[in-house]
Amino acid sequence: MGADPVVEHNRRMWDRLARAGIPYTRPQGSPPRSRAALRRFLDPESRLKGVRIAGARVLALAAGGGWDPVVFAMLSAETTLLDLSRRQLDTVRDLARRRRVGLRILQGNMKDLSRFGPEEFDIVWHAHSLVFVDDAERVLREVGRVLAPGGTYVTSTMHPTTLRLYGTYRDGGWRPRTSYFDDGPIPHRDRRDATWEFDRIRVVAPTIEYGHRIETLVNGIAAAGMWVDGLWEHSPAPPDPSAEPGSDDHLESVFPAFLEIRARKPAGAPGAHKHPE
C-alpha cells in the first residue's frame, strides 16, 4: 500500500518513545523457567486456554519492544513479529538472541499483511495497538485473511469511552474530548497533553490515536470471517479509593482502561469476506 501519513507519524513517535525508554517500549519483568509459568507470564488471564502453542504458527502483531514474541518462541511456537518501530524490533531481536530462540522479525504496517499468505497463522496475538491506526476494519480484514481455520485471534486496545476522558476532569466530572460517535483522531489540547510521563522520564510525542467503537471492532471481526467468543473490559489495577480525583488512577477506577476481544475462525471456514476498497 502507498504512503500512510498516520502510520508514518506514529512510527516516528514510537521511535522517539523507544529512544527515551518509556515502559511500553521495553521488556517488563523476566520470563520464568517452566513452560506452565511461561504461559502464565505471557497470558495471565488465560485468553489462550486450550489453544496449543507448541508448534503453532504465531503472528505477534505490533508486538515490538516486549517479551511476548520471545516467549511464544520459548514455548516452541513458529513465531513471526511484525511491528512499525525499528527500535522496538531491535529490542526484541536482542531479547531473542539472549534467550537463544529464533523468530522472524519484520518491519511493517498492520494495515497491510500482504506479505503473508492466506491462512498462514494459527494464532494472531495483537496487544494494545489498534488505537494507533485510523482504519481498524482494514486491519481486521487482514487478520481474517491470514488466520487459519480453527485459529485464534486475541486483541486488546484502549477502551473507546475512557480514551476520550483522560485529562478532562473539571468541576467534579469528566468532559469527553470528542463524541463517542466521532471517528476522527482524539484531539490533543496542548503540549502537556502530548507528553508521555513515567517517573522522571518526560517525552513530548503526540501520537495520533483513535477510539474505535466497540461495534466497529465486533462487526469488523465478524465481517472478516471470525466469531467473537470473549470480550472483556478492565483496568490494570483494582479501584483505589485514595486516588486523586481526576487522576488517571481515579478515572480507571470508574471506567475500564482496556477492551480485550478473543475471536476464532471456524474450522473449515472460507477466507475472510470480500469488501470493496
| Number of compact structural domains in the chain | 1
- Give the whole-number percent of the chain exceeding pLDDT 70: 96
Give me the DSSP letters along 55-124: T-EEEEET-TTSSHHHHHHHTT-EEEEEES-HHHHHHHHHHHHHHT---EEEE--TT--TTSPTT-EEEE
Q: Quote the cell numbers at residue 51.
A: 489453544
**Residue 211 pLDDT class (50, 70, 90 cuts):** very high
The enclosing domain of 38 has a CATH number of 3.40.50.150
- Give the pairing type, strands 147-158 and 258-264: antiparallel
24 in a structural domain: yes
**Residue 194 pLDDT class (50, 70, 90 cuts):** confident
pLDDT in tens, 158-188: 999 999 999 999 999 999 999 999 999 999 8
104 in a structural domain: yes
- How many CB atoms within 10 Å of residue 4? 16
Please indicate, yes or no, whether the overall pTM of this predicted structure exceeds 0.85: yes
According to the model, what pLDDT value does residue 189 have? 78
272 in a structural domain: no
269 in a structural domain: no
- CA-nearest of 43, 23, 41 to 32 is 41
274 in a structural domain: no
Instruction: Name which residue leads in pLDDT, 1 or 48.
Output: 48
What's the number of CA atoms in the CB half-sphere (13 Å) around residue 272? 27
Question: For residue 194, what are the contacts with CB-CB under 8 A and spacing of at least 6?
Answer: 188, 204, 205, 206, 207
Q: What is the dihedral of CA 140, 136, 133, 150, to 10 degrees?
A: -20
Average pLDDT over residues 109-137: 97
29 in a structural domain: yes
Question: For residue 72, what are the contacts with CB-CB under 8 A and spacing of at least 6?
Answer: 42, 53, 58, 60, 79, 103, 123, 125
> Dihedrals φ, ψ of 251, to 5°?
-60, -45
270 in a structural domain: no
SS3 state of residue 131: helix
What DSSP element (H or E) covers 252?
helix 248-254
- d(CA 57, CA 65) in angstroms, rounded, equals 20
Residues of the domain holding 196: 5-264
137 in a structural domain: yes
According to the model, what pLDDT value does residue 212 have? 98
